[in-house]
Amino acid sequence: MKTAFSFTELKKQELATAITIEDVLTITQSMGSITGHFWAGDYDEFAEALYCAGWDITYREPFWFVATPPFEDEAIEYIEGDVYRLVSKYDAQLFTHEA
């Protein structure tokens, strides 16, 4: 029987190997969230898993961060569980200090 803990652990392991934004969006896909992408686990564990996969956490506040993948110019934004893609290169650069 799968528990919520084992499901979250499995997803965290998948995140630790996520190289692209599409990888993260696939892993966090959730029909019940505003964005269609949600992380039900711990905020710090989500950020740590991305960091292990080579992502930069470019901006961070409590329950909110922006992360950039190793080989892309775009970014994702995490706000209290919801995961957003920053589709505008300008939006992503605001948080990577390249604007």
| Cα–Cα dist 92/77, whole Å | 9
What is the structure's pLDDT at 29? 94
Exposure string over 59-83, b if 16+ CB within 10 A, otherwise e: beeeeebbbbbeeeebbbbbeebbb
Give the mean model confidence (pLDDT) for residues 78-89.
85
Q: What is the pLDDT of residue 19?
A: 94
Supply the pTM of this predicted model.
0.81
